Structure 1
Amino acid sequence: MEGICFLPTFLVIWSSSTFIVSYLIALFEHDVDVIFPYISEIGAKPPESCIFGLMTIITAFAGMATIYARYKFVEKLNEKAGVPPALNQAAFWIGMLSCLGICFVATFQETTIIQMHDAGAILFFVSGVLYTTLQSIISYKAYPYGCSLALCHTRTGMATIAFLAVSPTIICVLLHRTEDKDYVFHLVSAVSEWIVAFSFIFFFTYIHDFKRFTLKLRTEFVS
């Protein structure tokens, strides 16, 4: 665990565990179907909603820390690479918006205020996909100083999968609600939702980068 690579490691393992643990509890409580429930459904009823909310908030803060560390890494990398600072800043703030969306999802369950829950979910998914896309572009612009070309391709592949899955996630869930809960729309939207959620193992690719640097906090007294 060199550098600060524990950040993306913890983020990916914890976020994946959030979905899996909540799903298993919801199954045990007979609150969801076995086959492809919505992620929102696995965190809608207690006791799984309590676990889901707590673990998701921790995920959001871990995501913020990882996104900030990535931002500072690219900023330092720019002493050699040619990544436009505006691009790095845009990716940082969009990533933070995605984490804000996660907080909305965790706080407003589907069974309480569905409008706020949906708004948070859309903010999370759309901003998250846009963030991974921008980071893929940044990786190519920083090459060969940032990471290997193979890792650039890997990030692009993950971002592409998320991008292709996010549209049917949003469109089909809306159609599912308006078309008398058609099962086909439910299946497509639920599968796409899980694909987008697990495509964010994208952060696992940061381990290679985060081994190469550390962040230090400096305290200064102002007289």
Structure 2
Amino acid sequence: MFWFMQGTCFLPTFLVIWSSSTFIISYIIALFQRDVDVILPYISDTGATPPESCVFGFMSTITAFAAFATMYAEYKFVGRVHERTGSVSPRLNKVSFGFGVVSCIGMCLVATFQETTVMPVHDLGALLFFVSGVIYTFLQSVISYRGLPYECPKSVCCFRVFFSGLAAIAVIPTIACAIPVGTSKLHWDTSDKDYSLHIASVTCEWITTFSFVFFFLTYIREFQQFKLKMTVNLTEYS
């Protein structure tokens, strides 16, 4: 049996590969279309105009559903493992999953409402995605440490703390530097007034996003340990 077929390992594996491809493919298409600058456009800029907007919207929506499926599987796994040990409270597990769901909803908004068409909704979606995503990774890091040694090795916990901390640090300038700029233009020049703020915000946005990607990469080994089964209960009506 191949390693990615063990347990439910295919979920985080698919999420990591697909999400990375989403950002990279959209960037390459937008670059060849000359719709964005070569140096550090916003991720949303790479999906602002057709045809890359169609690709970005389609692939980002699938990414959001893949992320939801992965988070749900982790939620069920944590609940099952610790229902007897009591090391992780069910409330903490539910809160963490709740922030994960909000982050997925934010990604769907970003994918559906381009920044050049409905900017307020797009910005709201981005805010939900980044802030809720950071909180989710932080809470999952706490759960991982509380769950030792039943879930993942301590080295994996350390990696989760590192990536969640990196995302938390990077998301602050992502938002703080974007607010004073307040524009959705796709092309920038070094002589522009807010160019430095723009570059700082964009750099931190890419760091935050790929911190999420690498965080889910740490799920792969853990997901090899379990499988999910669906149970259908039929109710007879008289």
- TM-score, normalised with respect to structure 1: 0.97
Letter in 2 for 1:169: T
Q: Aligned to 1:19, which of 23, 30, 37?
A: 23
Unaligned ranges ≥5, structure 1: none
Which of the residues 87, 107, 116 maps onto 2:112? 107
User: Which residues in structure 2 correspond to 1:138-149 (within 5 Å)?
Assistant: 138-149=143-154
Check the 8 A contact 1:32/1:42 in 2, yes or no: yes
Deviations 1:9-30 (A, max 9, x none): 0001100100000000000000
Amino acid in the other structure paired with 1:106: A
Residue 90 of structure 1: SS of its match in structure 2? helix
* Map 1:43-62 → 2, pairs under 5 A: 43-62=47-66
For the pair 1:189 / 2:201, whether they are aligned, the reply is yes
Specify which of 84, 88, 95 is matched with residue 89 of structure 2: 84
Distance, in Å, in 1 between the alignment partners of 2:9 and 2:96 is: 20
Deviation readout 1:140-161 (Å, 9 max, x if unpaired) = 0000111111111110000000
Distance 1:129 1:47 in 2: 30
Q: Which stretches of structure 1, 4 residues or more, deviate above 6 A after TM superposition?
A: none
| 2-structure distance, mates of 1:99, 1:181 | 34
2:67: which partner in 1? 63
Using the aligned pairs only, state the percent identity: 57
Corresponding residue of 1:30: 34
Size of the aligned set, in residue pairs, is: 222
Task: Tell me, in whole angstroms, the C-alpha distance in 2 between the residues paired with 1:119 and 1:109.
Answer: 12
- Report the equivalent of 1:160: 165
How many angstroms apart in 2 are the aligned matches of 1:113 and 1:184?
Answer: 25
Classify the secondary structure of the residue corresponding to 1:61.
Answer: helix
Residue segments in structure 2 that go unaligned for 5+ positions in a row? 184-191
Q: Aligned partners of 2:63, 2:182: CA distance in 1, in Å?
A: 28
* RMSD (Å), alpha carbons: 1.1
